[in-house]
Structure 1
Amino acid sequence: MQISMMKSRSSLLKRITAGVLATSLVGGAGLAQDEATDPNARSPEIVIVPVGEDGSEAHFVVGDMAWGDVLGILNQLQNQPSEQTIAVAQTLWTSRDVNPPFFLFELARLTAESDPTFAVQAYFLGRSRTMYDAARCLDSSALDVINEASAYAGDAVVQVIANRPELTIEAIEHVIETEGAFASEASPWWACSFGSSAYFAAVNGDTLAGDEWLIVESRWPSVRSRIEANLQNNLTMMRDAVAAATAQ
């Protein structure tokens, strides 16, 4: 596939977030910003987590629901008892417009076997929203978050997409018809903090003003137009591929 393409939360994610903030992964979350001066200012920090017996470490940018924070919440979600799976999936879906789209990939993973149609819809909604968030970052290296985040959906979703092209067509059609790619209320910071500029700001203890990590809002319509064109091109490509395969 060539899809290059926080405000309130549900009670479940509030409880999970509270637990995550007590762990080493998200322990360095930045302080709340002064919204009267710059609501988009961010003071990222680095949390270092051991990842192997050989002493290797992973460095995560955290603060204000940065990349490291969403990974921490994902870890908590995946550690929930199996009997909570349905409740977690329901929460992820009902809160999809107020939480970073990263969690839609976890929703796709959870439902890939039980409801592949829904899983593919969640996947492409998450991917299109991730595209839009990453494309609004000043740091072009943040675009790498698109494939990195999408991979968390897992192999089962990839197999469904590969074997059921009609589901991909339906999912992209739905995103286009509902303009779902642009309905999220979550800050793009979760995606932008994946980039190198946020990392170096965290290493140096710097605060990033809003105009240092996020493109000005007057440019958002042009970004939106590019995402819409990308979705339409992918839809056309998929339709043509299916039509060609059917004609053989």
Structure 2
Amino acid sequence: MLIAQNRFSLNRLLMAGLLATGLVAGGTSAQDVAVDSNQRSPELVVVPLGEDEGEAHFVVGQMAWGDVLGLLNQLQDQPPERTIEVAQTLWTSRDENPPFFLFELARLTAESDPAFAVQAYFLGRSRTMYDAARCLDSTALDVINEASAYAGEEVVQVIASRPELTIAAIEQVIDSGSAFSSVASPWWACSFGTNAYFAAVNEQTLSGDEWLMVQSRWPSVQQRISANLQNNLTMMQDAVAAATASE
């Protein structure tokens, strides 16, 4: 989770109530002058993990995977008395920021509001699925479980013990279509893959058509994810019905 280099001062942004603006600016500043709005120039940050523990490599640049981890570190460094403010800001800016931050929102609210935490978790997971599925590099799909794990064990326990919350959360995502309403770039998820890593190692710039699926194919991706959500919902409903009938 550690990032040695981070260009954002999240504390200042939070103090000013500008988290969404800060994140979007970090991800799009280089696009304003680019002909290809999806062009990316990833870089590599190497972080020592301690004696005999080796080092971790992170892809950064234009709100890549390493950047969202760096911002998460800064979020988690906020004092406890600002937890409510941070949570409110993350929810308000959920459509502008990478869905990764919804898992942190779930973690922050798991104890105080488990129903809301589960809602944030499944919104984050469905949007992460959508982002990863639009990456040309299939290894980026690994980001789905990697990112979801940041919600923490308490959220997992709530999901396991309160199936009615999971059902309500998935129903809400399906009914609202919110899995597909984010305007954040999928780059944060695609940069998790090996193609972005090797581009960073070799100091290569990726054009949009080298990492992102053409937009004409996005509706078919939405259909697959919608079907997946519906299948999971049906499975959960059937499981709860069977458990109730056996009581």
The structural deviation recorded for 1:13 is: 2.2
Out of 144, 147, 162, which is 1:146 matched to?
144
Determine if contact 1:31/1:63 at 8 Å carries over to the other structure. Answer: no
Out of 196, 199, 206, which is 1:198 matched to?
196
Aligned-partner Cα distance in 2 for 1:190–1:181: 16
What is the aligned partner in structure 2 of residue 159 from structure 1? Answer: 157
TM-score computed with the length of structure 1 as normaliser: 0.89
Determine if contact 2:20/2:97 at 8 Å carries over to the other structure. Answer: no
Aligned residue for 2:30, secondary structure, equals coil
Aligned residue for 1:53, secondary structure, equals coil
Pairs aligned (count): 230
Determine if contact 1:16/1:76 at 8 Å carries over to the other structure. Answer: no
What is the aligned partner in structure 1 of residue 77 from structure 2? Answer: 79
Determine if contact 1:30/1:44 at 8 Å carries over to the other structure. Answer: no
Out of 48, 51, 61, which is 1:50 matched to?
48
Go from structure 1 to structure 2 and tell me whether the alpha carbon gap of 1:16 and 1:51 turns closer, same or farther (over 3 Å shift). Answer: farther
What is the aligned partner in structure 2 of residue 214 from structure 1? Answer: 212
- Structure 2: which 5+ residue stretches go unaligned? 1-12
What is the aligned partner in structure 2 of residue 175 from structure 1? Answer: 173
Q: Which amino acid aligns with 1:108?
A: A
Aligned residue for 2:46, secondary structure, equals strand
More helix per residue: 2
Out of 163, 167, 184, which is 2:182 matched to?
184
Cα RMSD of the aligned pairs, angstroms, is 1.9
Aligned-partner Cα distance in 1 for 2:42–2:97: 19
What is the aligned partner in structure 2 of residue 13 from structure 1? Answer: 19
What is the aligned partner in structure 2 of residue 5 from structure 1? Answer: none
Deviation sequence 1:26-83 (CA, Å, 0-9, x none):
xxx9982465510000000000011122251100000000000000000000000110
Aligned-partner Cα distance in 1 for 2:22–2:73: 10
Go from structure 1 to structure 2 and tell me whether the alpha carbon gap of 1:60 and 1:31 turns closer, same or farther (over 3 Å shift). Answer: farther
Determine if contact 2:45/2:58 at 8 Å carries over to the other structure. Answer: yes
What is the aligned partner in structure 2 of residue 239 from structure 1? Answer: 237
Out of 57, 63, 66, which is 2:64 matched to?
66
Q: Which amino acid aligns with 1:13?
A: L
Aligned-partner Cα distance in 1 for 2:32–2:209: 15
Go from structure 1 to structure 2 and tell me whether the alpha carbon gap of 1:14 and 1:188 turns closer, same or farther (over 3 Å shift). Answer: closer
- Structure 1: which 5+ residue stretches go unaligned? 1-8, 22-28
Go from structure 1 to structure 2 and tell me whether the alpha carbon gap of 1:15 and 1:138 turns closer, same or farther (over 3 Å shift). Answer: closer
Aligned-partner Cα distance in 2 for 1:15–1:183: 18
Aligned-partner Cα distance in 1 for 2:57–2:162: 37
Deviation sequence 1:69-106 (CA, Å, 0-9, x none):
00000000000011010000000000000000000000
Out of 90, 112, 115, which is 1:114 matched to?
112
TM-score computed with the length of structure 2 as normaliser: 0.89
Deviation sequence 1:88-129 (CA, Å, 0-9, x none):
000000000000000000000000000000000000000000
Go from structure 1 to structure 2 and tell me whether the alpha carbon gap of 1:235 and 1:188 turns closer, same or farther (over 3 Å shift). Answer: same
What is the aligned partner in structure 2 of residue 137 from structure 1? Answer: 135
Aligned residue for 2:57, secondary structure, equals strand
Aligned-partner Cα distance in 1 for 2:156–2:115: 13
The structural deviation recorded for 1:12 is: 4.3
Aligned residue for 1:38, secondary structure, equals coil
The structural deviation recorded for 1:182 is: 0.3
What is the aligned partner in structure 2 of residue 227 from structure 1? Answer: 225
Go from structure 1 to structure 2 and tell me whether the alpha carbon gap of 1:15 and 1:101 turns closer, same or farther (over 3 Å shift). Answer: closer
Aligned residue for 1:148, secondary structure, equals helix
